[in-house]
Amino acid sequence: MGATQGKNHSNSVNPKRKYIRLQVVGMSFGLSILPAIMLAYMFNLGAFAGQIATLLAVVGCVFFSFGLVGRQELAAKRNQDSQNP
C-alpha cells in the first residue's frame, strides 16, 4: 500500500538554505584546487594542472554565483513583500 501512495512534499527544501548550499559547494570547488594540483602531479598528470585548476575555478564560480544571485533575489522579493502588505 505504501508504494502506491504519492510522496509527501511537506518537508521541501528551504530556498535560502538551498542557495547557501550552492555557495558552499562553490567554495568547496575553489578550495579543492590545490589538492587537485597535488594529486595531478602525484599521478604524473602535471601537464594538465592548469586545465584542472581552471576547470575547478570556473565550476566553483558558477555554483557560487548561482547561490549568491539566488539569495539576492530572495532578499529583494522579501523586501518587496514586506513593503506591500
The model's pTM is 0.78
| pLDDT above 60: residue 58 | yes
What mean pLDDT value characterizes the chain?
89
Specify whether the CB–CB gap between 66 and 24 falls below 8 A. no
pLDDT at position 12 is 73
- pLDDT tens, residue by residue, 30-47: 999 999 999 999 999 999
Cell 548550499 belongs to which residue?
Answer: 21
pLDDT of residue 6: 56
Percentage of the chain beyond pLDDT 90 is 72
Alpha-carbon gap, residue 63 to 25, rounded angstroms: 7
Contact 64, 23 (CB under 8 A): yes
